[in-house]
């Protein structure tokens, strides 16, 4: 496995510049698929899991994923490499912490990745920068169609695609957007908004997925229902909710930028100064300041800073990335020092 | 009154560079004196207070206090001007808040000042940079002797100089040093040290005198007893205690500079970055960061910063100084913004 060119830059989904990139960091679609004739991954004995991997590898490797693609055997990879993949959102914590034959296949631009033997035999994921749910869905569907021609999917005429957990059955589709909501958080409006979102069948998660805290004011919003609706309806349910949410964040930003101008500038300039001067900094503090700096760049409080260079630090300043860069594992306090040095160099 | 040349620089006592200026900010001596034939100031009717002022003004104005000297009538001065004098440690809060005829006379280098009708008719003060108790005592004594030739002091052959409060009788001498003790504070040793100091008859006060909190890790240590000891013995009691205290602070600084190096550098660089970037900052936060920056300069963590320019900010960034500089009174939040702008300019 050769990840050495990955740990110095963020994936395509962090590059920003697209639609509503002021608030929407990325748009992600994943499709859950299983092979007919095998038990679900968690119930499959090891030899069958290995057989599944063997069965899907050739079809995966024939996918047109750009100039270069990687297959990573998670049961053979270094712990640190697996962690880097989690931090880059290429694999889930579940796949990282799983057992037996399993892996991931992804293109070097990191738009498409396919996890094998996570909860389902196949988890096809496409993630793009900014608001681009259609594009992500198209990318995932193209992979799905290519694989469907070569692999016997488990499908029921009544339920649609069968999945290990019934909450994923039907379309197997989960669509999500990663939102940067610093103003809603700052003005303490975020809980109210998320309560409204969950009433419309949407789920809210932190930056690193289910069960993780919301660091850096980053939130994933996704659909909860996969069954009984078409793919288009599922995408629509997410897309229909977004304008109101974006408008709410925007209104709060405007309030900060006008009535709260001094406090906003203070927070933003202090955050950048701390990132540029700390000699030791925790991951949490780093994410919090990065959030303020990102807001400052978007609102024009900070000039001369590239939004991409700020956003990709959300990924690159994480523990496994720092250790990968250092070429060895680091104790927590060494890591905090290494992070501070990395941030100073990146934001100089 | 013309204070416009004062509000842009600190007094001589902030200029540093002398003995043990790494820890000792300044050395101060004051002598309490009263005129025979008058009630003590707090009991004197207004006409007598005015008479006292009239009586002492000519002797004061004949003192050789350098190229320029100021007499400020506190009962006629602007509130802001009085506050500036308090912040510069030229007068006490008691004199500022008093009533009736009262004032202060001081030289433009601010080494010597004489308060009239504070608790006593005369409070002669001399304050010098760094560890210079003898020099301050000599300066105060020279003024005292010059005045004693022209004014009838209230003296008892048994008790020595008589004072409004018996705790000042005898020599009327209070000697103090202003110490910068960031390492003792950081390592939570400061209470222990001060308990020991008070057992040896010394009093501990904050930066702005009796009853004020210790801001910026600055502490005034002074003698409590004025009676039954000679001036030399009083100065000795303070001077004898100092080496141990300075050594303790020094040992704590060494510990921070070696075993706690990363944390020290982190704290110092963050403090400077915040002072250079904040858009609004309270007086307390400012003092705290100035303390860290001063420690950083003394220990060589920060280079290219002049110690004087840092130390004088302890005085210049205070509320009345900022308002004087602005030429008008400011609300608290305006003041915090003005302070931030002032610090950015000064530390650029």
- Tens-digit pLDDT profile for residues A294-317: 999 999 999 999 988 899 999 999
**What is the Cα–Cα distance from A87 to A95, expressed in whole angstroms?**
13
Provide the domain count of chain A: 2
Are residues B273 and A269, on separate chains, in Cβ contact within 8 Å? no
* Number of inter-chain CB pairs under 8 A, A vs B: 43
Residue A104 inside a domain? The answer is yes
* Same-domain check for residues A48 and A118: yes
The whole domain housing B75 covers: 12-253
What length does chain B have? 348
Chain A CB contacts of B337 under 8 Å are 262
Are residues A340 and B266, on separate chains, in Cβ contact within 8 Å? yes
* CB crowding A82-105: b at 16 or more within 10 Å, else e: bbbbbbbbbbbbbbbebebbbbbb
Eight-class DSSP state of B181:
-
Alpha helices in B122-212 (DSSP H): 133-148, 182-186, 190-199
User: Mean pLDDT throughout A49-66?
Assistant: 94
* Same-domain check for residues B336 and B314: yes
Q: Which of A140, A175, A142 is nearest to A26 (CA)?
A: A175
Q: How confident is the model at residue A18 (pLDDT cuts 50, 70, 90)?
A: confident
* Same-domain check for residues B249 and B265: no
pLDDT of residue B66: 77
* CB crowding B202-215: b at 16 or more within 10 Å, else e: bbbbebbeeeeebb
Chosen domain end from B253, B285, B311: B253
Token output for A241? 């909710």
Residue B62 has pLDDT above 50, yes or no: yes
pLDDT of residue B86: 94
Residue A211 has pLDDT above 70, yes or no: no
Residue A271 inside a domain? The answer is yes
- In sign, the C-alpha dihedral spanning A224, A225, A226, A231 is negative
In chain A, which residues touch B (CB < 8 A)?
262-263, 265-266, 269-270, 272-274, 276-280, 333, 337, 340
Residue A1 inside a domain? The answer is no
* Same-domain check for residues A175 and A107: yes
Chain A CB contacts of B276 under 8 Å are 273
Alpha helices in B33-92 (DSSP H): 46-61, 79-87
Chain A CB contacts of B265 under 8 Å are 279
**What is the Cα–Cα distance from B129 to A98, expressed in whole angstroms?**
68
How does DSSP assign A164-216, residue by residue? SSGGGTBT-EEEEEEEE-HHHHHTT-HHHHHHHHHHTTEEEEBTTBTT---GG
The CA-CA-CA angle for residues B218, B220, B221, to 5°, reads 130
Are residues B280 and A273, on separate chains, in Cβ contact within 8 Å? no
Residue B2 inside a domain? The answer is no
Of A263, A276, A279, which has the smallest distance from its Cβ to B262's Cβ? Answer: A279
Residue A7 inside a domain? The answer is no
Chosen domain end from B253, B277, B301: B253
How many angstroms away from the CA of A178 is the closest CA of chain B? 30
Are residues A263 and B274, on separate chains, in Cβ contact within 8 Å? no
pLDDT of residue A3: 58
Q: Which of A154, A128, A125 is nearest to A63 (CA)?
A: A125
* Same-domain check for residues B247 and B274: no
Angle between helices A231-257 and A261-277 (to 10 degrees): 100
Start-to-end C-alpha separation, chain B: 32
CB atoms within 10 A of CB A257: 16
Helix (H, G, I), strand (E, B) or coil at B201: coil
Number of C-alpha atoms within 13 angstroms, CB side, residue B322? 23
Are residues B279 and A273, on separate chains, in Cβ contact within 8 Å? no
pLDDT of residue B1: 43
Beta strands B24-33 and B173-180, pairing class: antiparallel
CA A338 to chain centroid: 24
Eight-class DSSP state of A76:
T
Residue A134 has pLDDT above 80, yes or no: yes
* Same-domain check for residues A217 and A168: yes
* CB crowding B221-239: b at 16 or more within 10 Å, else e: bbbebbbebebeebbebbe
Helix (H, G, I), strand (E, B) or coil at B219: strand
CB A123 within 8 A of CB A129: no
* Same-domain check for residues A153 and A102: yes
Tokens 């599944």, located at residue: A52
pLDDT of residue B156: 93
pLDDT of residue A1: 43
Cα distances from B40 to residues B37, B103, B197, in angstroms, run 10, 15, 32
Of A262, A263, A270, which has the smallest distance from its Cβ to B274's Cβ? Answer: A270
Query: A268, A272, A279: best mutation site toward chain B, by most B Cβ within 10 Å?
Result: A279
**What is the Cα–Cα distance from B205 to B201, expressed in whole angstroms?**
13
How many angstroms away from the CA of B170 is the closest CA of chain A? 53
Chain A CB contacts of B263 under 8 Å are 279-280
Residue A161 inside a domain? The answer is yes
Residue A23 has pLDDT above 80, yes or no: yes
Q: How confident is the model at residue B99 (pLDDT cuts 50, 70, 90)?
A: very high
Of A336-345, B9-18, B91-100, minimum mean pLDDT range? B9-18
Of B266, B272, B280, which has the smallest distance from its Cβ to A266's Cβ? Answer: B280
Q: How confident is the model at residue A58 (pLDDT cuts 50, 70, 90)?
A: very high
**What is the Cα–Cα distance from B118 to B104, expressed in whole angstroms?**
9
* Same-domain check for residues A196 and A293: no
In chain B, which residues touch A (CB < 8 A)?
262-263, 265-266, 269-270, 272-274, 276-280, 333, 337, 340
Q: Which of A25, A23, A3, A6 is nearest to A14 (CA)?
A: A25
Reported as a single tens digit per residue, the pLDDT across A149-180 is 999 999 999 989 999 998 888 999 999 999 99
Give the chain A residue whose CA is nearest to the CA of B301: A279
Residue A66 has pLDDT above 80, yes or no: no
Query: B260, B262, B299: best mutation site toward chain A, by most A Cβ within 10 Å?
Result: B262
pLDDT of residue B211: 66
> In terms of pLDDT, which residue wins out, A13 or B323?
B323
Of A260-274, B262-276, B296-310, minimum mean pLDDT range? B296-310
How many angstroms away from the CA of B92 is the closest CA of chain A? 34
Residue B147 inside a domain? The answer is yes
Residue A334 has pLDDT above 90, yes or no: yes
Are residues B337 and A262, on separate chains, in Cβ contact within 8 Å? yes
Q: How confident is the model at residue A4 (pLDDT cuts 50, 70, 90)?
A: low
How many angstroms away from the CA of A188 is the closest CA of chain B? 21
CB A215 within 8 A of CB A315: no
Across chain A, what does the average pLDDT equal? 92
Whole-complex ipTM? 0.89
Are residues A263 and B280, on separate chains, in Cβ contact within 8 Å? yes
How many angstroms away from the CA of B302 is the closest CA of chain A? 12
Eight-class DSSP state of A306:
-
* Same-domain check for residues B59 and B91: yes
Are residues A277 and B270, on separate chains, in Cβ contact within 8 Å? yes
How does DSSP assign A205-259, residue by residue? EBTTBTT---GGGEEEEEE---SSS-HHHHHHHHHHHHHHHHHHHHHHHHHHHTT
Helix (H, G, I), strand (E, B) or coil at A312: coil
* Same-domain check for residues A227 and A105: yes
Task: Characterise A244 by phi-psi region: left (phi > 0), alpha (psi -120 to 50), beta (else).
Answer: alpha
Of A266, A277, A337, which has the smallest distance from its Cβ to B278's Cβ? Answer: A266
Q: How confident is the model at residue B3 (pLDDT cuts 50, 70, 90)?
A: low
Query: A262, A333, A335, A337: best mutation site toward chain B, by most B Cβ within 10 Å?
Result: A262
CA A311 to chain centroid: 13
Give the chain B residue whose CA is nearest to the CA of A264: B279
Are residues A279 and B266, on separate chains, in Cβ contact within 8 Å? yes
* Same-domain check for residues A246 and A313: no
Chain B CB contacts of A338 under 8 Å are none
How many angstroms away from the CA of B207 is the closest CA of chain A? 27
CA B317 to chain centroid: 15
Q: What is the CATH number of the domain that holds B177?
A: 3.30.590.10
**What is the Cα–Cα distance from B209 to B240, expressed in whole angstroms?**
22
* Same-domain check for residues A271 and A229: no
Residue A3 inside a domain? The answer is no
Residue B94 has pLDDT above 70, yes or no: yes
Chosen domain end from A195, A228, A253: A253
Chain A CB contacts of B274 under 8 Å are 270, 273-274
Tell me what percent of the residues of chain A surpass a pLDDT of 90: 76
Of A221-235, A251-265, B122-136, B299-313, minimum mean pLDDT range? A221-235
Cα distances from A139 to residues A25, A188, B15, in angstroms, run 18, 36, 68
Reported as a single tens digit per residue, the pLDDT across B243-285 is 999 999 999 999 999 999 999 999 999 999 999 999 999 999 9
User: Mean pLDDT throughout A283-289?
Assistant: 96
Are residues B280 and A274, on separate chains, in Cβ contact within 8 Å? no
Give the chain B residue whose CA is nearest to the CA of A336: B262
Chain B CB contacts of A332 under 8 Å are none
């Amino acid at each position: 496995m050769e990840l050495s060119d990955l740990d110095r830059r963020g994936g395509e989904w962090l590059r920003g510049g697209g639609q509503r990139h002021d608030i929407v960091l990325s748009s992600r679609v994943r499709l859950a698929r299983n092979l007919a004739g095998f038990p679900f991954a968690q119930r499959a004995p090891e030899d069958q899991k290995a057989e599944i991997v063997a069965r899907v590898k050739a079809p995966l490797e024939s996918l047109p994923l750009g100039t270069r693609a990687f297959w990573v055997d998670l049961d053979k990879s270094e712990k640190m490499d697996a962690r880097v993949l989690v931090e880059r959102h290429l694999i889930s914590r579940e796949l990282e912490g799983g057992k037996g034959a399993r892996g991931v296949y992804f293109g070097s631009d990191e738009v498409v990745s396919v996890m094998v033997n996570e909860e389902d035999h196949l988890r096809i994921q496409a993630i793009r920068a900014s608001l681009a749910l259609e594009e992500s869905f198209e990318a995932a569907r193209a992979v799905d169609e290519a694989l469907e021609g070569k692999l016997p999917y488990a499908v029921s005429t009544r339920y649609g695609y069968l999945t290990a957990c019934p909450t994923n059955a039907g379309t197997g589709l989960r669509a999500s957007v990663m939102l940067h909501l610093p103003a809603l958080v700052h003005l303490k409006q975020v809980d109210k908004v998320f309560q409204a979102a969950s009433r419309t069948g949407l789920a809210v998660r932190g930056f690193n997925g289910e069960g993780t805290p919301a660091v850096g004011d980053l939130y994933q919003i996704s659909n909860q229902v996969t069954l009984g609706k078409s793919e288009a309806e599922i995408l629509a349910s997410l897309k229909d909710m977004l304008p109101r949410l974006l408008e709410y964040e925007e209104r709060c930003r405007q309030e900060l930028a006008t009535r709260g101008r001094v406090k906003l500038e203070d927070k933003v300039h202090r955050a950048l100064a701390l990132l540029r001067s700390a000699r030791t900094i925790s991951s949490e503090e780093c994410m919090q300041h990065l959030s303020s700096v990102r807001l400052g760049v978007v609102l024009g409080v900070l000039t001369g800073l590239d939004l991409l260079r700020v956003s990709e630090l959300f990924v690159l300043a994480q523990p496994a990335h720092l250790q990968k860069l250092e070429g060895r594992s680091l104790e927590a306090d060494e890591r905090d020092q290494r992070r501070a040095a990395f941030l100073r160099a990146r934001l100089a």
